[in-house]
Chain A
């Protein structure tokens, strides 16, 4: 469904991503794990068009994403839950969700999806009139996910959904990610919390200083000695 081939990204003279290739198939959860600064977020930003690649290709169901304007990507069924949530804190929860549905015009469909999101995240309904900035970290993460879902994506890119959350909330967020996937959502998940990310994913890629150093079945990676030593603290 999503295919990244031989991606190179530079920040000025710094070569941040070295020929990364990865693939996400329909219905999968694929995790991209790695330490701080390994380039995980850069990969996601490049896929979404927020960062320009030096070379390489990204295709979504055969469509070359580098050939279209970044703001048009979401129309092709890919939504991005950015790192640090980046909800609109001066706008209400409801307005944030409306912004998620910015590209849509089907009023009835939008209302139905709003109901679906309130079903996933009942707390967002309670707080729908509150400003986004007044929500707790966990609620903001839920809002960020809900906002992305409002565009009716086929594939969801999620960047560090566990960041800054208590262990209990991390569990809750991952439970929802699993549920979304069982309901048919394809997910590319970037995480520092390698244990959670590997236990939920079908496949995973390990990123080290801009290179994919390992990839494969998530369960096997979870058992792998090198992965355990480097990322699972075992």
Chain B
């Protein structure tokens, strides 16, 4: 029975960290879907979101408003950062070879990390309490309010995103541009606007992920986004890069695998297993779980 409780606890942990991966993976996959670029700076957007929250919480508390409103500020800051990054760094390269844009993305990532180190030093800073931590107990299975909030908030974000993409005119335009940019122009769709909105949403999701991640692991440093970003990227590839439900699925799978590996095999091996998944996906089904096995369209 104890074994079962531990197992359920690991599943809950896995879903918690998985929903964070899923939120981040959505940013990778949406951007890839529309501009065919792996935005390697995306992980660092999480870091920026974390710092914005870190600095805004004391201000919010002093103003007498709830600390969790830092999510709104982080979301706005990351959305803006995403849009500006695209305009400044990626848009001029839209017709350049893909590798050029990819290298630029890595450069943006390094720039953000080093800029942050210069401004706030490389040492970790403790993240303030945003959500009150209360512990629930359901038949021996223990979990805290942060776990619950993370899962609920992520699922709500994903449902809203799915509704946006499926039901709204802008969401449909986004899918149209992602499938055929030229034909979208003929429909009168402004692809620049659509791409900006995609970056804003993807980066905004990273901000939500940042606050949830820092609430669970309350430390902020300039490099916190790179590993988290990398794992979320693997989640996006696992689910099928460019496919929105794939990113969600991939996120949860990676979260569960990581959590179960830590519990039952070895916590040191957890990262190796996750990266092993990337290798297996690339070998067996490079288009991901939900991807179709078709050749690249020319």
Contacts and interface: CB of A to CB of B under 8 A. Distances in A.
Contacts of A71: 184-185, 188-191
Interface string A94-119: 01001110110000000000000000
Contacts of B179: 88-91
Given A50-B182, A82-B182, A86-B180, A102 B187 contact: yes
B293 to A, nearest CB: 15
B77 interface: no
A88 B186 contact: no
A102 B184 CA distance: 10
A98 B172 contact: yes
A100 B182 contact: no
Contacts of B191: 71
A200 B28 CA distance: 49
B188 A88 contact: no
A91 B180 CA distance: 11
A147 B188 contact: no
Interface string A70-94: 1111110001101000111111000
Contact of A95 (B172, B185, B188): B172
Nearest to A79: B186
A147 B173 CA distance: 14
A74 B175 contact: no
A95 B185 CA distance: 16
A69 B179 CA distance: 21
Contacts, number: 62
B188 A91 contact: no
B200 interface: no
A99 B190 contact: no
Contacts of A151: 187-188
B183 interface: yes
Given A71-B191, A98-B169, A82 B186 contact: yes
A31 interface: no
A186 B237 CA distance: 47
Interface residues of B, number: 17
B248 interface: no
B176 interface: yes
A87 B175 CA distance: 12
Contact of A50 (B173, B176, B185, B187): B185
A103 B187 CA distance: 7
A48 interface: yes
Given A50-B182, A86-B180, A91-B179, A72 B172 contact: no
Nearest to A50: B182
A39 interface: no
* A70, A87, A88, A151 — most chain B CB neighbours (10 Å): A88
A195 to B, nearest CB: 28
B186 A91 contact: no
Interface string A118-130: 0000000000000
B189 A91 contact: no
Interface string B56-71: 0000000000000000
Contacts of A99: 172-173, 176, 184, 187, 189
A138 interface: no
Given A48-B186, A73-B188, A151-B188, 14 more contacts: A50-B185, A70-B185, A75-B188, A86-B180, A86-B182, A91-B172, A99-B172, A99-B184, A99-B187, A99-B189, A100-B187, A102-B187, A103-B187, A148-B186
Which 10 pairs show the lowest CB-CB distances between chains A and B? A103-B188, A74-B188, A86-B183, A102-B187, A80-B186, A71-B185, A99-B187, A71-B190, A88-B179, A70-B185
8 contacts: A71-B188, A71-B190, A74-B186, A74-B187, A82-B186, A88-B180, A99-B189, A102-B187
